[in-house]
Structure 1
C-alpha cells in the first residue's frame, strides 16, 4: 500500500516538509525524519531530489544533531540559494532535562530549549554538520518577546532589497494562557540576524508552527499551523491560510480577513511553499499518520505537490501539472492496486462509497466518513466536512495507496484522508469519469 506519487521516507518516521527549493535544476525536498523507528524521536533531516516532482532519489540524511545547541534535534526549517550556495535554516533543540532511559523523547513540552541555526552547503548534496553549522538566533530569554521552548520553524527568504528575512513561530503569555505570534528577523549576510518586529493575535490558537509569508497575484498571505485552534473531536492543531498586508521594510504584518483551513480532511499539517521552475507557488504538506499500516516499516507521507492560485480573494489548490498529466488513460474499472483519478459531480443527499470511504452531501457541505477503513486513535478525526459549497459538488478524487486527496469545485477546498485499508466490495458509484495512471517512465 505504499503510495507511488506521495513522497515517503525509505523507512521509519517522517513528518514536516523542510527546505523546499528548486536549486540548480533539481527539486530538493527535505523532511523531518527519525531514522530508527516508526515513531517520532530525535529529529534529523531526510533528503530526496527530483527533476519532475514524480521520480525521487533518496539521498543520505542531510542534517543530524552534532552541536550542543542541537544535540536533541534538528527541527523544521527552510532553504534559500544565496551566492550560489544552499543555506538550510532549522530550529536547533536541546532538552533542559534528558531522559537517561531513552534520550530520543523529552520528558515534556517544558523541556525544550530552542534556537535557530543554519548549515551552508556548497552544492546542495553535501552538508558538513561538524564545521558548517552556525547559530543565527540564540535562545529567547525575554519571556515578553517569545517562548524559550516553543520558538521554531524559520522560513527564510531574500527580500526585494537584497536583505535576508526570517519569520519564526512562537507564543507569548497573556497572563492566563498564551497568544500565538510570529517574530521577524533580518540579516545582511544570512548568518547574523537581528530582531525587527512581531505580530500577535489572541484569537487563533496559542502557538503558531511553520509560518510562511507568500505573495500570490500581488496579495500577501500567511500560512501557519496553530496549536489548540479547534475543539474535539477534531485534532487541536491545523494548517491555515490568512490574507495579510506585509511591509517588508518594517516587517509589520496586518491581518486583512479571517483564516481558512488549507485542507478539511485534517490529516494535513505543517505545509511549506516554494517557487518551482515555472514560477508557480507550490506547496507540500505533511499527512499525519499516527502509526504505520500493519506490516509496513514506514510512517508518514507528504501530499502531492499543489499549485496555489488566487481568484476573487480566495486561494485555490490544484495538483501540480507534472502529476496531472500522468492521468491520461480513461478507464471503466476502479483498481485500488494502482493510483487513479476520479471525477464526479454529486447531488444533494447523494451517497458515494469508495473503497470504504463514505462521501455524502448534507446541508450543502461535503461530508467524509472513513471510520470503516481508518484507525481509532487519540487525535484521529474520522468524520469531517467542508464549509457550505453553494450547491455545487464537483469532485476530483486522487487515490494513491493509502490516501485520498479530494479537490472540490476546481480546488476551492481540499479534503485529504489517510486510510489504513480498502474495502473493495463497498465501491458504489455512478456517472463518473475515471482515469488510470500512465506508465511512469
Structure 2
C-alpha cells in the first residue's frame, strides 16, 4: 500500500471519484479517521471533511483507481479555487492556482485561449452569469473519465473571461448512476436572479436511464447556492409532469422574470407529437409552474430529417427584439450533410406569444463544432459560450481531458435583423501589436493567431501548414465562404454565402478555428486534431491581411 503524509488546514474538504480494486484511507497519528475499505467496481463519489489543522496520512492501493480528486478550503476557495491531487506510485502531487495553469499550458495539444477542464469530460455550458466583477461558468462534467457519462456541473470563475480559477463540482446526480449501470444526472440549465435579487439555478435532472434515445424521464429542479456559489445548498424539484404530446425529451430550462406579465417565465426544449418544439411555462412563485403552450414548433421537415427534439434553447432580448436560439438534436441538413447545428429566430414576444420577423431560420454556425450555446445579460451586453465539439471527430486517445468552450462571444443584431456574434471585447485586450502579412506569407510561432482580411474577399484563400502538412484552409469562391480540414473528404459541405464586401476574421488556437464574417452574421467553427500547431501561413487576397498573436 502507498502512503503520504500531508498537512491540512482546519475545515479542508477532499472530494474524490474512484473505482476498484483497492482501498483508500486517512489516518491521524496512526488512527483511521476516514476510509473506503473496498472500492466498488463501479465509480463512486467520496468526500472527507478534515476537522482540525494537523498532519494526515493518506494510504491507497492502486493509483489507477483514483479517477479525479481535489481539495478546497471554505475560507479560501472563492479566491484560490481547488487544489488538484494526483495519486501515484511514489506519492501525491498537489497543484493549485498558477501551478494548475502551468500544468495545463505544458500540454502542447491543449488550446490556450479556450476554456477546458483540468481533466475528464466536459460538454454544454450552463449557469453562465456575472456576479459583481466575477463571471461564473458552469458546465456539464463527467468526473470519472474522458468520455460522456453521468452528468455533474463543473464550475470555474474569471474576471476577464479568459483566465479561469477552477472550483469544486457544483451539482451531482440525484442517484449513483454508475452503480445502477445507467446514464443520467444533472443536465443543462441556467442561472437566474429572482425579483428580490436571490441567485439560483434551474436545471434538468435526467433520472437513471438505460436507453440514450427513448424511454428516459427528465424533470426540472431549482438549486439554491450556498455562499460564494461553491456548492448547492438546497435542491427542489419544481416540475415533473409533461404536457400531452411530449415524450421523453423535456429539458434545459431558461427562466426569466416577465415584467409585463408580472410573473416568471420558463422555456424548455422538447418535441410535440414528434416535432421539435420549445415549450413555455409560467409561475408566480418559481415553485409551481403551469403550461402556457408551445413558444415554437419546428416545421414538419425537421422531423423528416431526423430531428428528435429541441435542446438547449435560449431566449433573450436585444435592442427591443427577442431572440430564440435552439439546437435540433438528431437533425442532419440534407443539402450540406451537416449536423449539430444551431439556429436562431428574431421577433417580438407579446402576450406570451413569440412572433418571428421571418420564418426562415438563421444558421448560426456553418462549422458543426459550435453547439449548445448559452448566453447571459451582463454589463449591458449579451455574452455567450458554446460547446466546441463534434461527435463525429473524437479527440485522439491519451489526453487527460475532452471538450473545450468557444471563445466568449458578444451578441448583437445588425440592420437586417440578423443575430451577429463577435469575440467579446475582452479578447481584444489579449492582442499584441497587429502586423501586416507581407508578400502573402508569414512564419508562425507555436501560439494562437488572429487573422483579419479586409477589402475584396472573392478568390481569397488562407492556408495554414505544419511541417508542410495542412492544418486548415479557408477561402471564398464565387461568393461562398468555406473551411476545410485535413480529414474532410467532401461528403459534408462546410460553407456559407457571404456579401460581396464582407469582412473576414479567422482565430486559430491549437486546432480550433473560429471564423467571423459579414459583421459576425456568418460564423464557422471547426475543431481539428491534426497539425494543430501550424508554423507557416499563406494568404492570397486582393485586399489587406493583418495578424496578431493574442496570449491569455
Q: TM-score range by the shorter chain?
A: 0.7 to 0.9
Deviations 1:83-106 (A, max 9, x none): 34321111111135xxxxxxxxx3
Measured at CA, do residues 56 and 164 of structure 1 come closer, stay the same or move farther in structure 2, by a change above 3 Å?
same
1:416 to partner: Cα distance: 1.2
> For 1:363 and 1:186, how far apart are their aligned partners in 2?
48
| Partner in structure 1 of residue 4 of structure 2 | none
| Residue correspondence of structure 1 range 8-27 to structure 2 within 5 A | 8-27=116-135
| Partner in structure 1 of residue 199 of structure 2 | 86
The partner residue of 1:188 within 284, 287, 293 is: 284
| Partner in structure 2 of residue 335 of structure 1 | 444
> For 1:206 and 1:108, how far apart are their aligned partners in 2?
12
Describe the SS at the equivalent of 2:431: coil
Deviations 1:118-156 (A, max 9, x none): 11114342324xx7111111142x442x22x10100011
Describe the SS at the equivalent of 2:499: coil
Q: Does 1:113 align with 2:217?
A: yes
Which deviates further from its counterpart, 412-421 or 423-432? Answer: 423-432
1:336 to partner: Cα distance: 5.0
Deviations 1:253-282 (A, max 9, x none): 223311111111111111111012x21011
Equivalent pairs counted in the alignment come to 412
Q: Does 1:436 align with 2:537?
A: no
Asked if the contact 1:8/1:14 (under 8 Å) is kept, the reply is: yes
The partner residue of 1:348 within 448, 458, 470 is: 458
Measured at CA, do residues 305 and 63 of structure 1 come closer, stay the same or move farther in structure 2, by a change above 3 Å?
same
1:436 to partner: Cα distance: 1.6
Describe the SS at the equivalent of 1:322: helix
Measured at CA, do residues 164 and 122 of structure 1 come closer, stay the same or move farther in structure 2, by a change above 3 Å?
farther
> For 1:217 and 1:381, how far apart are their aligned partners in 2?
40
| Residue correspondence of structure 1 range 115-264 to structure 2 within 5 A | 115-128=219-232, 132-140=234-242, 142-144=243-245, 146-147=246-247, 149-161=248-260, 162-173=262-273, 178-199=274-295, 200-203=297-300, 204=302, 205-227=307-329, 228=331, 230-231=333-334, 234-247=337-350, 250-257=351-358, 258-264=360-366
Higher relative contact order structure (alpha carbons within 8 Å, sequence separation ≥ 6): 1
Q: Does 1:406 align with 2:506?
A: no
Instruction: Give TM-score scaled by structure 1 length.
Output: 0.86
Asked if the contact 2:464/2:535 (under 8 Å) is kept, the reply is: no
Asked if the contact 1:336/1:401 (under 8 Å) is kept, the reply is: no
Q: Does 1:359 align with 2:456?
A: no
> For 1:421 and 1:342, how far apart are their aligned partners in 2?
20
RMSD: 2.5
Q: Does 1:74 align with 2:173?
A: no
| Residue correspondence of structure 1 range 265-280 to structure 2 within 5 A | 265-276=367-378, 278-280=379-381
Structure 1: unaligned runs, 5 residues or longer: 97-105
> For 1:375 and 1:15, how far apart are their aligned partners in 2?
24
| Partner in structure 1 of residue 54 of structure 2 | none
| Partner in structure 2 of residue 5 of structure 1 | 113
1:393 to partner: Cα distance: 4.5
Structure 2: unaligned runs, 5 residues or longer: 1-108
Q: Which has the larger radius of gyration?
A: 2
Asked if the contact 2:362/2:418 (under 8 Å) is kept, the reply is: no
Asked if the contact 1:65/1:71 (under 8 Å) is kept, the reply is: no
> For 1:10 and 1:124, how far apart are their aligned partners in 2?
21
Deviations 1:335-363 (A, max 9, x none): 35211211124643343212321222222
> For 2:488 and 2:140, how far apart are their aligned partners in 1?
23
1:405 to partner: Cα distance: 0.8
> For 1:369 and 1:316, how far apart are their aligned partners in 2?
23
> For 1:321 and 1:384, how far apart are their aligned partners in 2?
27
Which deviates further from its counterpart, 278-287 or 115-124? Answer: 115-124
